[in-house]
Structure 1
Amino acid sequence: MAMSQRRSSVAEEPVTSVLADGDVPYDPTHVFSADDEVLAALGYKSEFKREFSLFTTFCVSFAVLGLLPSFASTLYYGMGYAGTAGMTWGWVLAMLGIQCVAMSMAELCSSMPTSGGLYYAAAVLAPEGWGPFAAWITGWSNWCAQVTAAPSVNYGISAMILAAASISNPAYVPKDWHVFLLTVFIMILHSILSSMPTKWLAQFNSAGSTFNFLALIVVIILIPAGTNRTERNLPRFAPSSEVWGTIYKGTAFPPGVSVLMSFIGVIWTMSGYDSPFHLAEECSNANLASPRAIVLTSATGGIFGWFLQLVVAYTVVDIEGVLDSELGQPFAAYLMQCMTQRMTLAILALTIIAGFSMGQGCMIAASRVTFAYARDDCFPLSKYWKRVNRHTQTPANAVWLNCAVGIILLLLIFGGDLAIGALFSIGAIAAFVAFTIPIFIRVFLVGNRFRPGPWNLGKLSIPIGAFASAFVALMVPILCLPSIVGADLTPADMNWTCLVYGGPMFLVAIWWFVSAHKWFKGPKVNIEHMMLGRGEVVEGEVQKGNDASSGDGPGPSKAKM
């Protein structure tokens, strides 16, 4: 079917299309934008306003990345497992693998710019008959990462707020229920903000991300400039041989394994760069802007995150004192070791505000993922979660579902530090498992049959994707190791990541084999087209609500690559 005089069909778009050449659902009264055409070639119609640009998309993902609050929230792992060595050259090693994952993901995003993101890519690229299962596992793993992001961020922010209160008033000792109630309040506030119209969200996150970046620069400058180590009869900065060469024995494993275990902080901190993928349907020029935003976020985060690691590594006084402080927040304890109280409170204030912006970005990204999966009936009661609010044109129901689940997860606070710490390790593992499934399929099963978008890695695509897959395969078991082994290991010291992440994923797999394989057929297209085998498309009509893998539809396994 012709697409007026501008081009012969949407199938000419440089994307992985699920429509045959010439088979384009089209309304002659509607002028398709380039982004509409790309999305139509993937089998969807545009439902959101495209009010995100490359910059505003980058702002959301950088806010989700939240280097300063992320670092502050995960300092316990980076410093506690391997000391300053893990924070310096350990960060560089981790970033090599992470950057490969980001570039491989960006290539998929350019080819398939939908809000379903990795879930959609896994379904399209999987071998025949395996598309729905690949989408099911990828989707649920990614959702686990997304739904734990805002609670873990907001927990870290609440702990910092209460630590600041304790610094100001030493008589105050934060209780678990104080942290819980404050975190719930922040979750509700974020949910209200995340239900706003897209244009407001873009502006709010642009401001928040700008502050996040400026706060990061200010803190990187303030820490070395404001340290009072010399007043404590210490050199202004620790010697490089000590910073780079000493591995703190924070685990029962050999030093090399301890360094790898410290990567949890890097991986969790750097797990927000997939946000542009999920915002692709709200971004203009998505098949170029979105992948560029992914790579820009990862590269910028990696460089500036390393600078932050360095200034802390060179100024920390006593690692054990940081980890065992009564303040209950390692970053606050570190600041009190090497800064004045006034400077400590100033840096904590910047970190808290940046963290609030980060939690907001996490809530937005998670709601788009929930909407995309509910659109394909992945969840129970999906008909409610896939509704777009007619006033704000945003998936408000999905926002509040994630809020409710997040509040339930926050009950882990009452299980102790290691229990709530599982939120961070789950976020790291769940995200990177979901990131890597479609990359693995693209590298080892699809190979040269992959149809790249305008942003691609060329001949380096296969090697980079293979390295990314190997890195994640190494890190998943490493991040499940407890820091204590043998007779000293007690339930209180156990790494509960296997149970808290592996348990739900095991149930999801059982659900698939028992029931879901009968009704879940992978991503749907919500445009009627001739490949569904239901006769001619009536000119001028665009119909909704059809399963791409039902009847004679294309399905993930029949997609064109």
Structure 2
Amino acid sequence: MSLDLSVDEVRVQSVISHSKIHLDHAVDHDEAVILALGYKQELKRGLSMLTTFAVAFSTLGLLPSVAGTLWYSMAYTGAAGITWVYLVAMAGIMCVALSMAEIASAFPTSGGLYYATAMLAPPKYKAFLSWFVGWSNYLTQITGGPSVGSSTAAMILALKQMTDPSYEYHKWHAFLLATSITVSCACIASMPVKWISYITRFTSLLNISFLFICWVVFLGGNTRAEQGLPKFNSNAQAWGITNMTDWPDGMAVLMSFMAAIWIMSGFDAPFHLAEESTNAEIVTPNAIVLTAALGAVLGFAFQLGMAYTIVDVTAAVEGELGQPFVSFLSQVLTRDRTIAMAALAIVLSYIMDFSSMLAASRVLYSYSRDGCIPLSRVWCRVNPYTRTPVNAVWFNWFVGECLLCLMFKGEAINAVFSFGATGAFVSFTVPIFLRITYARNTFKPGPWNLGRFSYVTGTVGCLFILLMLPVLCFPQFRGKNNTTDLMNWTSVVYWGAMLLVVLYWFAYGHTFFTGPRPNVGDLCRDEEGGNEKNEIDEVVQPVKDI
């Protein structure tokens, strides 16, 4: 049986446009799209809308993310940082999410961000820009697993100290515990898609239910009345600014946006799972928008409850426990309830870790498939039994383990993990900017698109990130108050790393990397002058309903 698939009839913007793909079997719509984009279907598809969303929402890790980012919200502007400041930041972030969803529908591949950049950029710069976006996104992804793993270990040991006064903390305890966490998470990320689907559906329920339980407990079960206080704070207390920085209030508000950006930096996970999702052109953008919208709504409701119940913002930030969220819980709950709620956050942090490693492995797989990473042939190999990129999972784990060794060097570990928000949103925004500027007349939207609102959301999203890029590098304190342990290392670590990436490009990368590299060359033939025409409907079988 011989069939020809016309790339142009699939109606995607591709590196192999004006070609036909020679097939020896009928394909469904998802496989037709990925073939038309230039890639063979190597990963097994089996992720539904619910599963894709579940992975993304787990990567977002709303409860542990809120707990971990209070250093940038409540510690900068007090209660205002977790109420109206969060809402304002979400307006800009939602514009970025909507614009990304539109691009994901047009380019539903695992390496969609950098693939889209290559297709939307001017030909002269497409290789360099896709290289820059790809590395920015990958370096962000690869720090996720060890970062969350070390944070999870820190919370576990904090509970150990709370329940066992005789326990003496050592850095090697945290290292070994973080290592065991990341090893087990890498094992889960290496499983077949079907198993991962079952696990993530269950964990998405845990994410929402644990968040709700914690919210109900500190709202309804707080001890404020026993402390001689009203059940809840006044509106002025819950929405007012307490400036804890060395900057004016306006600048402190902008700096508090960092927390929302950190919390929402995982909503791109569905993009990286596009080649394992069914009906990816619709499921992927829907999962992106649902993750961002639900994260915005639930995150605001959860933090609003915190703002109305916290007893002392300053004490929570500067408390002896060393973690604002745990300090907050200890202010409003009994000791046993504090431990129980912290334990829920630990479970969700563990879920967040393996979800981050899952997304990171798909990024490495897709970039290696195009020869963007050293030893690409090894990392893009798909395990024949699990039909997942197991090599990529464990290479990422090894790099993460090397990063974890920095735990023995004090603040160095924090410097590495300061990549997060900046690296993610730079890679998010570059293709969005190209879509509304250079490619505004050539972009081929997918079935999920914003129509006339594309330019509105794209412009607002790009302006928001352009404003935030320098702000993300600002330290909380300045002058003599800005010590090495309080320094914001983003300007050094992220931009320093990207400088090395750019130097690598000019020194060697430009000699071998020309952008996305299709692997269907043996199946393609030029469509110019062809007399044969096979309608796509004769080649493509309808995708099953989800």
TM-score bin (small chain): over 0.9
Matched residue, 1:192 = 187
1:313–1:173 Cα change, 3 Å = farther
Residues 1:152 and 2:147 aligned together: yes
Structure 2 residue 488 is the aligned partner of structure 1 residue 495: yes
- Which deviations, in whole Å up to 9, do the C-alpha atoms of 1:303-362 show, x marking residues without a partner? 000011111111112223222333232221211111001111111121111111111110
Within the alignment, does 1:526 sit opposite 2:495 as a pair?
Answer: no
1:513 aligns with 2:506: yes
Measured in 2, the distance between the counterparts of 1:407 and 1:234 equals 47
1:101-500, aligned counterparts within 5 Å? 101-245=96-240, 247-416=241-410, 419-500=412-493
Residue deviations 1:66-91, cap 9 Å, x none? Answer: 10111112222211111110110011
Residue 56 of structure 2 is matched in structure 1 by 61
Asked if 1:11 corresponds to 2:11, the answer is no
Relative distance call for 1:78 and 1:215 in structure 2 (3 A) is: same
Which AA in structure 2 matches 1:49?
A: K
**Does the CA-based 8 Å contact 1:144-1:430 persist in structure 2?**
yes
User: CA contact under 8 A between 1:10 and 1:24: conserved in structure 2?
Assistant: yes
Q: Which amino acid aligns with 2:269?
A: S
Shift of residue 391, structure 1, vs aligned partner = 1.6
User: Which amino acid in structure 2 is aligned with residue 26 of structure 1?
Assistant: H
Contact 2:46 2:278 in 1 (8 A): yes
> 4+ residue stretches of structure 1 with deviation over 4 A?
4-8, 529-537
TM-superposed CA distance for 1:530, in Å, is: 8.0
Q: 1:415 to 1:323 in 2, by over 3 A?
A: farther
Give the AA of the match of 2:508: S
Q: Write the deviation string for residues 238-296 of structure 1: whole angstroms up to 9, x where unpaired.
A: 11111112x22221111111121122221111111111111000000000111000001
Computed over aligned residues only, the root mean square deviation of the Cα atoms, in angstroms, reads 2.2
8 A contact 2:120–2:435 mirrored in 1: yes
Give the partner amino acid of 2:455: I
Structure 1 residues 497 and 532, CA, compared in 2 at 3 Å: closer, same or farther? farther
Partner of 1:24: 20
> Structure 1: where are the runs of 5+ without partners?
540-561
User: Deviation digits for residues 71-125 of structure 1, max 9, x if unmatched?
Assistant: 1122222111111101100110110111000000000000010011101111111
Q: In structure 1, the residue corresponding to 2:439 is in which secondary structure?
A: helix
Q: Which residue of 2 aligns with 1:559?
A: none
1:172-195 C-alpha deviation (Å, 9 max, x unpaired): 353333222211211111111111
1:95 is aligned to: 90
- On the 8 A contact 1:123/1:522 being kept in 2, the answer is yes
Number of residue pairs the alignment of both structures matches? 531
Q: Secondary structure at the match of 2:73?
A: helix
- Look up the equivalent residue of 1:17 and give its one-letter code: S
SS at match of 1:262: helix
Q: What SS does the aligned partner of 1:26 have?
A: strand
1:42 Cα offset (Å): 0.7
Contact 1:229 1:235 in 2 (8 A): yes
Shift of 1:529: 6.0
User: What is the identity percentage for the equivalent residue pairs of Structure 1 and Structure 2?
Assistant: 46
Provide the rounded CA distance (Å) in 1 between the counterparts of 2:2 and 2:454.
35
Contact between 2:189 and 2:393, CA under 8 Å: does it hold in 1? yes
Q: Give TM-score, length-normalised by structure 2.
A: 0.93
Q: Is the 8 A contact 2:418 2:493 kept in 1?
A: no
Cα deviation 1:368-421 (Å, max 9, x = unaligned): 0011111111111112111111121111111111111112222343344x5444
Residues 6, 387 of structure 1: CA spacing in aligned structure 2 closer, same or farther, 3 A cutoff? closer
Aligned counterparts of 1:411 and 1:322: Cα–Cα separation in 2: 30
Q: How far has the Cα of 1:424 moved from its partner?
A: 4.9
Partner of 1:547 in structure 2? Answer: none
Deviation by residue 1:133-175 (Cα, 9 ceiling, x = unmatched): 1110000000111111122222221121111112212333533
Tell whether the 8 Å contact from 1:163 to 1:332 is kept in structure 2 after alignment.
no
Contact preservation (8 Å) 2:273, 2:359: yes
8 Å CA contact 1:180–1:413 kept in 2: the answer is: yes
Q: CA deviation at 1:228?
A: 0.4
Residues of 2 paired with 1:313 and 1:173: CA distance?
33
